[in-house]
Structure formats: C-alpha cells, structure tokens
Structure 1
Amino acid sequence: MTQYPTDLTEKQWQVIKNILEPQARNRKHPLKEIMNAILYINKTGCQWRMLPSDLAPWQTVYYYFRKWKLEGVFEEVMDALHSLIRKQAGR
C-alpha cells in the first residue's frame, strides 16, 4: 500500500482509535485505512470515485464518512484532540 502525506501516524491513530472503533472487529478494510482515505479526499479535493485504487473502495469510504458525519464522530474527534493539545500546553 502506498504511503500518502495525509496518512495518520501511529501516534495520531492511537489518539482517535477508540472514538472511531469502540469495539474492535474484523473488517475487510481497517478503519485507519478508511480515515486515511477521508483525509486524502479532504486534502486533495478529489472526487469520491477518483480515490486511488490502493485505498478502500470509494463506496466504503463514503459510507463511513456519511455515518460518522451524521453521528457527530468528527466533532468528537476534534474535541478530543483539542483537549489533548490544551493539556499538553498546560491549560
């Protein structure tokens, strides 16, 4: 699998993993790979159907994007990251 500049590092993934995947399950495409694809689309602005073929299929990525958006998961991730950064800054 190709590495993209938008890919999450392992440390970044550990911070948000429990928010995206509260119960570990076997999946055909890991959630880290799906989040990497969402970040790729966000950064490049490419169309869903033009996702590189080495990422999860666009239908799968879009399914999780829509699901997480409707469930407020992205806001939860941002709140967790905001709290972590404030703690690191001593606030």
Structure 2
Amino acid sequence: MMDRTIKIVDRVAKMMDRTCKIVDRMSKMMDRRAKATERITPAMERTTKIVTKTAKPTNKTPKERNPLIHIKEQNFLKNIKDI
C-alpha cells in the first residue's frame, strides 16, 4: 500500500513540475508582451494624434489645399502642349 502511495505522490510531483515549467514559460511570454506594449503604446498614441489632426475634413478644393501641386500640374501641361 505504501509503495502505491509513493508512486502516486511521485507522479503528482512530476505533473506539478511540468505545470510549474509551463506557467513559468507563460509568465515570461506575458512579460515580453507587456514590455512590447509599453514600447509600442507611446508611438501608437503619437500616430493617433497625428492621424486625428490630419484627418479632419476640410471644405477646401484640391487647388486650395495644396497650390504647389496644382502649379506643377499646370506647368507640366504647358510643357506637353509646347511639344
């Protein structure tokens, strides 16, 4: 009877060791993820600020929004017509 209980206790101890190893691995992974999110979060906040600033709708026409591009297009068209 004693041998049987010792075997069972040994088996349980092995299983506990395995679960401890798995839990340790999982905790390491979670720590890595937490560190990564800490690094990424400020950058994400910056990008969201930039996007929200630039994504505001405007009632301007493309010519009013960026006159330089419009001038370049006109010059390009003039050059084509000259040829």
TM-score bracket, normalised by the shorter chain, equals: under 0.3
Q: Please identify the structure whose Cα radius of gyration is greater.
A: 2
The structure richer in helix per residue is 2
Q: Higher relative contact order by CA 8 Å / sep ≥ 6: 1 or 2?
A: 1
TM-score normalised per structure 1: 0.25
